[in-house]
Amino acid sequence: MKKEVYEETLRLIDSRISYLLREIQIATSKPIVIRTPLQPPLIVDSSAVIRNLNAERLGGLTIDQVLAKISTAAGVSSLGEYGEAETLTGDVKLKEGDNIVITRDAALNALIIASTGGLIVHDNQYHDPDYSPVGHTHLEADITNLDHNAQKIKGKTVDDAAIGDNRILVYKSASQTLVYEDKPTGGGGAAGWQNCLCYPWAGTTVLDEDPDLTYTSEVSENAGNYTEVAWFDFDMPSGTIKSIFAHLVWAMKVTGSGTGLVKWQIASGSHSSPGSWVDITDEVSTEATSYGDKARSGIIHKITGLTTSTPFTIRCLVKRGTATSAEAKVKSNTYLRVTYKVS
């Protein structure tokens, strides 16, 4: 019995006995005084007294029932491993062991203990250690000390039996594998293609990050016949053109009331000895009497009749429409990007 329960029970019994003694009529001239307080062990050999005491003070429950309720109301008093004599008391916490996950369910006021079944952790997820290798993606920032030996690229097996210096990977459809072969001869990429990015009127024939945004000299036309504003020869070695992307920029205006026209053309060969000229833009019209920029951009190698070989030449033309004259000049951020292969 807990000390607090025992003391409370003793107090109740002592109070009850004192109450009973007050009801006893004893003919004496002096009061009856209990000089020695009750001391344990206390034995009351009266079932009637105990029954009345229980009914009046303990709500009809026996001492054992009261103690049982006190014990269960306090929760678990100790915790231990089954079969061991030693137990843990106080604030006992559960610790996850190998392959064990403990999750707290606040809504149910419960702990969920589950086995991971020998799984391993990868990317904060559990996986079977016997899983078959699968493809996955890592960002470069995620890889700090990781040795990757890729056996496949996009699901295609890499056969490195013939790996060697200056050899390239080539896909073979018959075996659906990637194998190493000697790099083909010729300039440019693996297939011999070369890329040329040229700003013809930026003061250089190679890429210029700052073409200075200047213009060629003004050309004026007043007879109604197309006249060259500027031209440029792409005099690379003889070869085959794969693609041409053109970004053409110029300024134009008219003198007097009416219209002026500008268009661009390409021909095979050189400006001094051209093949057939082919229009690569529409006729762009203006009625403005002050200069304004115009532009056309796009892939032009699919235009009907356009040359498919290098070298080639390009020019810009201007003529008056209904105005007194038309003026034009080419802007220096005009460029062409050509992909070609030397024959």
CATH number for the domain spanning 303: value is: 2.60.120
What average pLDDT does the segment 310-322 reach?
Answer: 96
Place of tokens 């702990």: 111
Give the global pTM.
0.46
Q: Are residues 157 and 279 in the same domain?
A: no
Q: Are residues 199 and 333 in the same domain?
A: yes
Q: Are residues 213 and 289 in the same domain?
A: yes
Q: What gap in Å lies between CA 285 and CA 145, rounded to an integer?
A: 63
Q: Are residues 198 and 290 in the same domain?
A: yes
pLDDT of 60 > 90? The answer is no
Q: Are residues 199 and 338 in the same domain?
A: yes
Q: Are residues 218 and 337 in the same domain?
A: yes
Read off the pLDDT band of 11 (50, 70, 90).
Answer: confident
Contact 261, 224 (CB under 8 A): no
Neighbours of 172 (CB within 10 A): 12
Contact 326, 261 (CB under 8 A): yes
User: For residue 140, how far is the Cα from the chain centroid?
Assistant: 13
Contact 222, 337 (CB under 8 A): no
> Domain limits at 35?
3-73
pLDDT of 82 > 80? The answer is no
Q: Are residues 251 and 173 in the same domain?
A: no
pLDDT on residue 127: 57
SS3 content of the chain, % helix, strand, coil (to 5): 15, 35, 50
Tell me how many domains the chain contains.
4
User: What percentage of the chain carries pLDDT values higher than 90?
Assistant: 34
pLDDT on residue 115: 72
SS3 state of residue 185 = coil
pLDDT of 206 > 50? The answer is no
Lowest mean pLDDT among 69-83, 169-183, 198-212, 305-319: 198-212
pLDDT on residue 297: 93
Q: Are residues 111 and 177 in the same domain?
A: no
pLDDT of 231 > 80? The answer is yes
